[in-house]
Chains A and B, each alone.
Chain A
Amino acid sequence: MFALVENNQFIKIVNSNKGITIGENQYPKSIFSLWSNSEREAIGIYEVVVDNTNLKDQEYWINTNMTYTFADGVVTGSYGTATARPLDDVLFVEGDEIPSDKAVGDVKQQGLKGQKIKVIKEQAGGLLAPTDWHVIKEVETSDYVVPTEITDYRTQVRAKSNEMETQINACTTVDELKALYEYTEQENGTFTRPLAEFPEEL
């Protein structure tokens, strides 16, 4: 990524896929690939150094747009302080622009906890579905009993799903929630995360 600098001021980001006109000169796009940094800098084009210090996982935070500064011969692009996405659902309140199919108190924006729990419920449903037929058959026929192995597995899936929901609901900050999903290497070489895991599929 390149930036145009004039009078020691950042002017704009330039598109390196096309040529650029500076003053009375039209430069071909090949200057971005063929010229050295010093050649480009001589006409005011600098490669942008990106500072990702404030860049956070956009699943959990809303990052700002990048802003650019020119100092000491370097154009730096940096992010402002990211805003945490809401943990809990945001509800419609009086004064909001409310769609016709919604009302005050309905969910306006699902919070991170709600999103995560929804995923876990979907995963649990997906794990249970292949063995649902055992349960249906037991209900609908008199000579069939769900194998213990299946019953135990389904019980474990539900238990782990509930455990994960409890863990998620216990979080009070976005950092805590994110940490639940972060795997770390254990002494035995395995990787685990604080959040519970579903049992191995049958």
Chain B
Amino acid sequence: MSILKVDSMQCVSTDTSISMNNAVYFPTGTLTDGATINWNVFDNPTCQVTLGGNRTLAAPTNMVDGGFYSILIIQDGTGSRTLTFNSVYKFNAATAPTLTTTAGGKDLLIFRSDGTNMLEAGRSIGIA
């Protein structure tokens, strides 16, 4: 088996397995809150956003087939904020999740992309 060792961050392409001796993770990025929230999943595969009002999450940009992406949605100090999802987000039972309404409440959504859509892989609503 071929092993590729990456000593410094650089763009690589290989057909071999990749092994890391230490944890690999995506630092949490913060999306900009606004009436429409944009998510560049290349820049922020793991991200969070604090909703300051009723918002719409636009179709993400730069998703790739097989990519896993997660978003932590945080209610602001008022709470009861809703999030409308673009139709590329595909949910269990074809029903967009109802977020927690608690001020400061958190909901975590995880998606796997098929390159066109974001398929819900899991959700944790009302994380305390």
Contact = CB atoms under 8 A, between A and B. Distances in A.
A27 B56 CA distance: 9
Contacts of B82: 27-28, 30-31, 34-35
Nearest to A21: B87
Interface stretch (B6-14, B17-25, B42-50, B97-105): B97-105
Contact of B98 (A23, A24, A29): A29
Range class of the B interface residue count? 10 to 19
A132 interface: no
A25 interface: yes
B86 interface: yes
B95 A25 contact: no
B48 to A, nearest CB: 19
Contacts, number: 48
A26 B87 contact: yes
A19 interface: yes
Nearest to A23: B87
B91 A26 contact: yes
Contacts of B87: 21, 23-26
B41 interface: no
B96 interface: yes
Contact of B56 (A25, A34, A35): A25
A25 B98 contact: no
A26 B54 contact: no
B83 to A, nearest CB: 7
Given A34-B101, A35-B54, A19 B95 contact: yes
A30 B97 CA distance: 9
Most chain A beta-carbon neighbours within 10 Å: one of B56, B83, B95, B99: B95
Contacts of A27: 82, 84, 96
Contacts of A39: 54
B108 to A, nearest CB: 16
Contacts of A23: 87
Contacts of B84: 25-28, 31
Closest CB pairs A-B (n = 6): A26-B96, A19-B96, A26-B85, A28-B96, A24-B87, A28-B98
26 contacts: A18-B95, A19-B98, A21-B87, A23-B87, A25-B86, A26-B84, A26-B86, A26-B89, A26-B96, A27-B82, A27-B84, A27-B96, A28-B83, A28-B96, A28-B99, A29-B98, A30-B82, A30-B99, A30-B101, A31-B54, A31-B84, A34-B80, A34-B82, A34-B101, A35-B54, A39-B54
Given A25-B56, A34-B54, 12 more contacts: A21-B87, A24-B59, A24-B87, A25-B87, A26-B86, A27-B82, A28-B82, A29-B98, A30-B80, A34-B82, A34-B101, A35-B82
